[in-house]
């Protein structure tokens, strides 16, 4: 048997060659599609001649790296650097090509190491995206289990009676910003975003019904500061219209908007939202594992209206399950009443309508890219904030009630182990909270 030259023997044979002179290896059973080649284009565009995984034989037949050659061809590059493997027969070229292709498909990704690498790339490379390492967004989120959060993420700390936040306060929580402000105030929202745009909004506006004795047992929860039973139909429609219009000022073209609502106020919210965002895209249903309050038929679901900001096609990271995430408009998740793990773990203890973090994280993954902005103008206990943190997105959120802003900050601090700071003064949330407590005692 003839001795086949090793790769090390050919390193000095790296040469610049015309792309049009290269040809596919005849008989190679591994086929690549146009979509596969498109994945390689950003890598070739970024690294150019520094991409050296292309091996060719004496006849300029591509043993390995055909995807980069075809990407270079589509980008109309005239030349590409290759390593020539000399002295191979046609059979050896084909065997080597098949072996390299097969062996490169072996192994598994280490999820923790992958996520650590992603966070480092996002921190140090300004224009980083999944495409620069050959992944589709939905594929990458699935591999690292971005929606998997564990029970700790749903733990909501006790609400404190003294407000640390004041109207206009902005808290910086890592890469996230939280504002104590009105969801209908477009100027406040514009100031919060500071020229940036939102890729996906997930909002749980007040349903327009009383909390005390209706949504939850009497005396268990405080009323929302807006749309908590004091508005008639016209007033509620006006409220819905105002917050939709205000939110639209910061939405990117094609941004998806998820609006949670119950059946009583569905018609009014849909009417208000369609006037701003256009036709309803879909209606998702959160199917809970147990029923809540009610008299005749007890309610066991919530509805999620789905819209898209006009001007561009909305993002679709699901792609009919192409990347291993099969999603539908029926979201089956336990309700808050099923998540009780003692006083501190009871999701219902400090908010009347909490959502599972993992459910919100899945929706974020469906509709946005890592480092893009997620928005929620009814912050509540901070579920969307925690979901954005877990999925590697940036969050911008607000709530008119200072106590709920405080609750969201404390929840984020509890979950991350990090400390929030006042964006204006740079002072920590805990420091200011201590001052508020001391002033009360005095």
370-396 confidence digits (pLDDT tens): 999 999 999 999 999 999 999 999 999
Q: What is the pLDDT of residue 345?
A: 46
Instruction: Retrieve residue 53's tokens.
Output: 């995984």
Q: What is the pLDDT of residue 209?
A: 57
Q: Is residue 2 part of a domain?
A: no
Mean predicted confidence (pLDDT) in 254-267: 96
Contact in structure between 171 and 184 (CB atoms under 8 Å): no
Sheet with 14-18: strands ordered across: 14-18, 79-84, 55-56, 61-64, 23-24
Same domain, 357 and 274: yes
Q: Which is more confidently placed, 52 or 110?
A: 110
* pLDDT over 80 (residue 364): yes
Task: Give the burial string for 378-392 (b: 16+ CB within 10 Å, else e).
Answer: bbbbbbbbbbbbbbb
Same domain, 429 and 311: yes
Same domain, 382 and 307: yes
Looking at 53, 88, 104, the residue that finishes a domain is 104
* pLDDT over 60 (residue 208): yes
Q: Is residue 1 part of a domain?
A: no
Instruction: Retrieve residue 240's tokens.
Output: 């819905």
Q: In which domain, by residue range, is 183 found?
A: 146-441
Strands 176-180 and 170-173 turn out to be antiparallel
Same domain, 171 and 86: no
Q: What is the pLDDT of residue 51?
A: 67
Compute CA distances 307 → 203, 283, 310, 370, whole Å: 12, 9, 9, 21
Count CB atoms within 10 A of the CB of residue 166: 11
List pLDDT tens digits, range 123-174.
Answer: 999 889 889 999 987 788 888 877 677 777 788 999 999 999 999 999 999 9
Q: What is the pLDDT of residue 232?
A: 78
Same domain, 116 and 14: no
Q: What is the pLDDT of residue 218?
A: 54
Please, which pLDDT band fits residue 344 given cuts at 50, 70 and 90? very low
Compute CA distances 279 → 154, 252, 257, 262, 310, whole Å: 33, 17, 12, 19, 10
Domain count, the chain: 3
Same domain, 347 and 381: yes
* pLDDT over 70 (residue 4): no
**Which of 49, 22, 50, 38 minimizes the C-alpha distance to 75?**
38
- Does pTM top 0.85 for this prediction? no
Same domain, 318 and 407: yes
Q: What is the pLDDT of residue 441?
A: 67
Same domain, 159 and 282: yes
Mean predicted confidence (pLDDT) in 403-423: 97
Q: Is 214 exposed, middle or buried (0-12, 13-18, 19+ CB in 10 A)?
A: middle
* pLDDT over 60 (residue 102): yes
Same domain, 343 and 315: yes
Compute CA distances 311 → 201, 202, 248, 252, whole Å: 16, 19, 12, 8
**Which residue reads 């920590």 in tokens?**
428
Same domain, 262 and 390: yes
Same domain, 320 and 349: yes
Contact in structure between 205 and 260 (CB atoms under 8 Å): yes
Same domain, 129 and 183: no
Looking at 89, 121, 145, the residue that finishes a domain is 145
């Amino acid at each position: 048997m003839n001795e086949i030259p090793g790769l090390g023997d050919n390193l000095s044979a790296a040469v610049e060659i015309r792309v049009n002179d290269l040809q596919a290896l005849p008989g190679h059973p591994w086929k690549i599609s146009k979509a596969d080649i498109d994945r390689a284009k950003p890598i070739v565009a970024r690294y150019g001649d520094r991409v050296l995984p292309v091996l060719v034989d004496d006849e300029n037949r591509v043993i390995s790296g055909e995807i980069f050659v075809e990407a270079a061809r589509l980008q109309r590059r005239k030349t590409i650097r290759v390593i020539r493997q000399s002295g191979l027969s046609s059979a050896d070229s084909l065997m080597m090509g098949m072996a390299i292709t097969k062996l490169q498909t072996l192994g598994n990704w280490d999820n923790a190491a992958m996520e650590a690498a992603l966070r480092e790339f996002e921190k140090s490379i300004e224009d980083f995206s999944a495409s620069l390492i050959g992944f589709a967004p939905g594929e990458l989120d699935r591999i690292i289990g971005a929606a998997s959060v564990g029970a700790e993420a749903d733990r909501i700390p006790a609400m404190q009676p003294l407000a640390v936040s004041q109207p206009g306060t902005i808290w910086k929580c890592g890469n996230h910003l939280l504002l104590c402000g009105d969801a209908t105030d477009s100027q406040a929202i514009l100031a919060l975003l500071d020229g940036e745009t939102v890729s996906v909004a997930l909002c749980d506006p007040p349903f327009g019904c009383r909390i005390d004795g209706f949504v939850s047992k009497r005396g268990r929860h405080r009323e929302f500061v807006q749309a908590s039973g004091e508005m008639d139909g016209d007033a509620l429609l006006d409220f819905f219209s105002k917050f939709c219009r205000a939110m639209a000022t910061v939405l990117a073209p094609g941004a998806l908007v998820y609006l949670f609502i119950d059946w009583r106020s569905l018609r009014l919210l849909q009417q208000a939202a369609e006037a701003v965002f256009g036709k309803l895209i879909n209606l998702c249903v959160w199917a809970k594992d147990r029923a809540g309050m009610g008299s005749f038929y007890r309610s066991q679901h919530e509805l999620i209206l789905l819209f898209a900001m006009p001007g561009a096609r909305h993002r679709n990271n699901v792609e009919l399950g192409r990347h291993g995430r099969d999603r539908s408009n029926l979201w089956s998740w336990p309700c808050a009443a099923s998540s009780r793990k003692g006083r501190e773990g009871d999701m219902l203890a400090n908010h009347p309508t909490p959502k599972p973090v993992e459910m919100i994280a899945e929706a974020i993954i469906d509709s946005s890219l890592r480092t893009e902005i997620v928005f929620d103008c009814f912050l509540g206990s901070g579920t969307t904030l925690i979901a954005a943190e877990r999925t590697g997105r940036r969050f911008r959120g607000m709530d008119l009630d200072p106590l709920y802003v405080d609750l969201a900050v404390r929840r984020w601090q509890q979950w991350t182990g990090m400390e929030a700071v006042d964006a204006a003064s740079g002072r920590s949330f805990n420091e200011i909270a201590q001052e508020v407590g001391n002033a009360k005692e005095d």
